[in-house]
Amino acid sequence: MPLDISAARPDPALLDLPWSLPLQEWPTDLLAALPRGISRHVVRFAHLSGGIVAVKEIKAELARGEYQMLRTLQRLDLPCVEPLAVVSGRSDADGHPLDACLVTRHLQFSLPYRALFSQHLRADTTTRLADALAVLLTRLHLAGFFWGDVSLSNTLFRRDAGAFSAYLVDAETGELHDTLSTGQREHDLDLAQVNIAGEMMDLAAAGLLPEGLDPIAVAHEIIERYRALWQELTGDEWFEAGERWRVDERIRRLNSLGFDVDELAITTDLDGTHVHIEPKVVDAGHHSRRLLRLTGLDVEENQARRLLNDLDSYRAATDRQGDDESIVAHDWLAHIYQPTTRAVPREMRGKLEPAEVFHEILEHRWYMAERAGHDIPIEDALADYLREVLPGKPDERAVLGTDTQEQHVINQEDV
C-alpha cells in the first residue's frame, strides 16, 4: 500500500521519517525529549525541519476527522494545536498494515498538566490552571464546539504573565454545531468533573498535589468557575434607560476576564433597556487596527480598546446599531472625542497625550457614575477631571521631549 500524506502545506521532510516502524519503535535520535501527557494512543515528539512535531498513532478515519476539526477550530481563532498532516497507508517491513498518524506542530513553551505539577506548584497556581481550563471550555462552547472528552490530559498550558493559557490538544471526540444546547454543555461539564477529579486523585497518589488540596474540590471549582464565566458572557441584564454606566461596567467585567466585546445587541421596551452582550475574543492588535480604520487615530492597543468601548456604548446609547459603523465612528470622533480632548487648557496639554487623557476622563466618569448610582454626562466628568485630577499630573512632555498634543492621525486612504 503506498504511503499517503494529506496536508494543506506538505513538508517534504515528512518523507524522511520512519513511517514503516510502529511509533513506539522510532529511534531516539529522531525524538525530542519533551514531557508527554497521558494519552490512550501512542504519541511521540519528533524533530522536523528545524522544529518539533507531535505524532499520534491512530486509525486513519479518526486521524482525518481530527485533522479537519483542528483546522476548523484554527480558522475560528480558538486555542488549539496546529494540525500539519495525516500520514496513512503505512505498513511495516513485512507488509503488515500500521495505523495512520496525525502530525501536529508542537506548541512552544507549553506543558502538560503532570509536568507542571511535578514542579510542586502552590495551591494558588492550581487555581490559575483551573481558571485557564474554565476559560478554554467557555470559549469552545461559545463557538458551538462540543468537546466530548474534557480533561487536563487533553489540554496544554502555557505561562501567560503570571497566569496560564490553556490549549486544546485532542479533538478526536469533538463536534462543531451552530450553537450548543444546555444538555450538550452539561454533558461536557459532567465529563470534565469526573475526568479532572480522577486526574487530581492520580496526582495526589503520586505526591504531586499541593498539601491540603482536595481533588474533588479542584474539579468542582473548575465547573463553578465555568458557570460563573458563562453567565457573565451570555446572561441578559436589565437597567434603566439613563444608566449607560452599567454598559461600561459590564464591558469592564468582561475585559477583566480576558474577553473583548465585539458586539452590543440592545433592545428596549416600555420599562427600560434589555441588554445582551455577545463577546468575541479577538487577536492582538485588533483594537488599534479597528480604531485606525474607523477614525484614523493611531494609539496604543489598550487605549484603542477603551476608546472603542466608548464608541460602541455611544452607538448603543444613540440607538444607531443599524447605521454604518464608519459614519457612527465619524460622529463619535467629531462630537465626543475631539471636543473632549480639545477642552484641555493649553497650559495642561503637555501632561498626557490626548488618547490617554480621554481614557482617564472615561475612567473618572465611570467612578463618578458608580458613586452616584446613575449615568454622568461626559461634560460633567470632563469638568471635574480638569479641576480635580489633571492639574496634579506631572508634565510628561518635559520627560518625552515631544509635543504630546500632536495626535498621530493617518488618512484612511493610507490604511
- The SS3 assignment for 2 reads coil
Query: pLDDT band for position 412 (50/70/90)?
Result: very low
Residues 178-195 have a mean pLDDT of 95
pLDDT at 165 over 60: yes
Residues 114-142 have a mean pLDDT of 79
- Give me the percent of the chain exceeding a pLDDT of 90: 39
Domain layout of the chain by residue ranges: 4-106, 111-233, 235-414
* pLDDT given at position 26: 93
Tens of pLDDT, residue by residue over 318-366, are: 888 788 888 999 999 999 999 999 999 998 887 778 888 999 999 999 9
Tens of pLDDT, residue by residue over 141-160, are: 989 999 999 999 899 887 65
Residue 245 to residue 223: CA distance in whole angstroms: 31
Residue whose C-alpha is closest to residue 103's, from 136, 127, 70: 70
Residues 256-266 have a mean pLDDT of 60
* pLDDT, the chain, mean: 82
pTM equals 0.62
* pLDDT given at position 38: 61
* pLDDT given at position 407: 40
* pLDDT given at position 91: 93
Tens of pLDDT, residue by residue over 293-305, are: 899 998 876 788 8
CATH, domain range 111-233: 1.10.510.10
The torsion of the CA quartet 312, 318, 323, 325, rounded to 10 degrees, works out to -30
Burial of 208 from C-beta contacts in 10 A (0-12 / 13-18 / 19+): middle
Tens of pLDDT, residue by residue over 29-46, are: 888 876 565 667 899 989
Residue 265 or 256, more confident: 256
Lowest mean pLDDT among 134-138, 271-275, 402-406: 402-406
CATH class entry, domain 4-106? alpha beta
Residues recorded for the chain: 415
* pLDDT given at position 207: 84
Query: pLDDT band for position 77 (50/70/90)?
Result: confident
* Eight-class DSSP state of 111: E
Lowest mean pLDDT among 69-78, 283-292, 314-323, 390-399: 390-399
